[in-house]
Chains A and B, each alone.
Chain A
Amino acid sequence: MVFALLIVGFTVVFVAGAQALVTQSSIRISELEEQAERLATRSEILRLRVADLSSPDNIVRVAEDAGLVTPTAVRILRLSESSEGRATAGSNGTANEDALALKEGSGGSG
Chain B
Amino acid sequence: MSRPPAGRLAALFGVLCLAFTGIGARLVLLQVRDAEAYEALARQQRVRRLELPAPRGTIYDRGGRQLALSLPARAVYANPGLIDRPERVARRLAPLLGARLPELRRLLRQDGSFVYLARAVDLSVARRIDELDLPGIGFLNETKRHYPGEELASQVLGFVGIDGEGLAGLELEYDRMLAGRAGDMVVEQDPNGRLIPYGEQRGTPPTPGRGLVLTIDADVQFRVEEALAEAVETNGARGGMAVVLDPATGDVLAMASNPTFDANRFRDTSNELTRNRPVTDVFEPGSVNKVITAAAALEDAIVRPGEVLWVPDRYQVGNRMFGDDEAHGTIPMTIGDIIGHSSNVGTILLAERLGADRLAAYLDRFGLGRETGIRFPGEEEGIVHPHDQWWQSSMGTIPIGQGIAVTLLQMASVYATVANGGVAVQPRFVLATGDDPSPRATIPVVQQRVVSSRTARLLRSILAYAVSDGTGKQAQIPGYWVAGKTGTARKPMEGTRGYSDEVIASFMGFAPVRTPRIVVAVLLDEPETVYGGVAAAPLFREIMQFTLTHLRVPAGEPVGPPPTAGGR
Interface of A with B (CB < 8 Å)?
A: 22-23, 25-26, 29-30, 37, 40-41, 44-45, 47-48, 50-52, 54-57, 60, 74-76, 78-79, 104-110
- Offer 22 A-B interface pairs, CB within 8 angstroms, sorted by A: A29-B195, A30-B195, A41-B72, A41-B124, A48-B148, A51-B69, A54-B66, A55-B149, A56-B152, A74-B478, A74-B545, A76-B478, A78-B479, A105-B555, A109-B464, A109-B477, A109-B480, A109-B481, A110-B464, A110-B468, A110-B483, A110-B512
- Chain A residues, CB < 8 A from B219: 56
A54 CA / B478 CA spacing, docked (Å): 31
**Interface pair B555/A108, CB less than 8 Å apart:** no
Across the A-B interface, the 10 shortest Cβ-Cβ residue pairs: A76-B479, A110-B481, A105-B479, A109-B476, A56-B222, A110-B464, A51-B148, A26-B197, A107-B478, A51-B66
Given A51-B148, A109-B475; 11 other pairs, CB 8 A cutoff: A41-B72, A44-B123, A48-B148, A51-B66, A52-B148, A74-B479, A79-B554, A108-B476, A109-B477, A109-B482, A110-B512
Closest Cβ neighbor of B126 among chain A residues: A41
Beyond A41-B123, A110-B513, whether A105 also contacts B480 by CB under 8 A is: yes
Residues of B within 8 A of A45 (CB): 124
User: Is B194 at the interface (CB under 8 A from chain A)?
Assistant: yes
CA distance A73 to B555 in the complex (A): 16
Contacting residues, chain B, for A52 (C-beta < 8 A): 148
Whether B197 pairs with A22 at a CB distance below 8 angstroms is yes
- Is B34 in the interface zone, CB < 8 Å from A? no
Q: What chain A residues lie within 8 Å of B181 (beta carbons)? A: none
Question: Is residue B306 within 8 Å, beta carbon to beta carbon, of the partner chain?
Answer: no
- Which B residues from 114 to 173 make CB contacts under 8 A with A? 123-124, 127, 146, 148-152
- Which residues of B lie under 8 Å from residue A26 when comparing CB positions? 197
What chain A residues lie within 8 Å of B481 (beta carbons)?
A: 108-110
A29 to B482 CA separation, bound complex (whole angstroms): 67
Chain A neighbourhood of B483, CB < 8 A: 110
Residue of B whose beta carbon sits closest to that of A28: B197
Interface size class of B (residues with CB under 8 A): 35 or more
Give me the interface of B with A, judged by CB distance under 8 Å: 65-66, 69, 71-72, 123-124, 127, 146, 148-152, 194-195, 197-198, 218-219, 221-222, 464, 467-468, 475-483, 512-513, 545, 549, 554-555, 558-559
| Distance (whole angstroms) from the CB of A54 to the closest CB of chain B | 5
Task: Please measure, in the bound complex, the distance between the C-alpha atom of A84 and the C-alpha atom of B483, giving whole angstroms.
Answer: 31
Q: Are A25 and B197 in contact (CB under 8 A)?
A: yes
Nearest A residue to B512 via CB reads A110
Interface contact A57-B482, CB-CB below 8 Å:
no
Given the complex of chains A and B, what is the CA–CA distance between A79 and B555 in angstroms?
Answer: 9
Closest chain A residue to B559, Cβ basis:
A110
Complex CA distance for A108 and B559, rounded to whole angstroms: 13
Residues of B within 8 A of A79 (CB): 554
Quick one: which of B69, B123, B468 contacts A47, CB cutoff 8 A? B69
A29 to B197, CA, bound (A): 9
Checking B65, B467, B555 against A76 with a beta-carbon cut-off of 8 angstroms, the contacting residue is B555
Contact assessment for B152 and A55 in the assembled complex, using a CB-CB cutoff below 8 Å: yes
Query: Which of B148, B221, B464, B545 has the largest number of chain A CB atoms within 10 A?
Result: B148
* Complex CA–CA separation, A105 to B221 (angstroms): 26
B148 touches A55 (CB 8 A): yes
Q: State whether B478 touches A108 (Cβ < 8 A).
A: yes
CB distance A22 to B198 under 8 Å? yes
Cβ of A47 to closest chain B Cβ, rounded Å? 7
In the complex, what residue of chain A is closest to B472 when comparing beta carbons?
A: A109
Residue of A nearest to B64 (CB): A54
Nearest CB of A to B261, in Å: 14
Give the shortest distance, in Å, between B3 (CB) and chain A (any CB).
36
Expressed in whole angstroms, the minimum distance between the Cβ of B61 and any Cβ of chain A is 10
Residues of chain B lying within 8 A (CB to CB) of residue A30: 194-195
When C-beta atoms are compared, the residue in chain A nearest to B123 turns out to be A41
Whether A57 and B478, one on each chain, are in contact in the complex, defined by CB atoms closer than 8 angstroms, is no
* Assembled-state Cα–Cα distance A54/B219 (Å): 11
- B147 CB to closest chain A CB (Å) equals 9
Contacts of A50 in B (CB 8 A): 66
Q: Which residues of the partner chain B approach A76 to less than 8 Å between Cβ atoms?
A: 478-480, 555
Residues of chain A within 8 A of B149, CB atoms compared: 55-57
Q: Are B478 and A110 in contact (CB under 8 A)?
A: no
A residues less than 8 Å from B218 (CB atoms): 55-56
Asked whether A110 and B482 contact (CB < 8 A) given A22-B197, A48-B71, A54-B148, the answer is yes
Give the distance to chain A from B218, nearest Cβ to Cβ, in Å: 5
A20 to chain B, nearest CB (A): 12
Find the A residue at minimum CB distance from B223. A56
Residue ID in chain B nearest A27 by CB atoms: B197
Q: Are B479 and A107 in contact (CB under 8 A)?
A: yes
Q: Which residues of A contact B69 (CB under 8 A)?
A: 47-48, 51
Whole-angstrom CA separation of A29 from B72 in the bound complex:
22
Instruction: Compute how far the CA of A91 lies from the CA of B66 in the bound complex, rounded to whole angstroms.
Output: 38
User: Would B222 and A57 count as touching, CB distance under 8 A?
Assistant: yes
Interchain CA distance A79-B222 in the complex, whole Å:
30
Q: Complex Cα distance A64/B222, Å? A: 15
Report Cα–Cα, A63/B352, bound state, in Å: 57
A74 touches B152 (CB 8 A): no
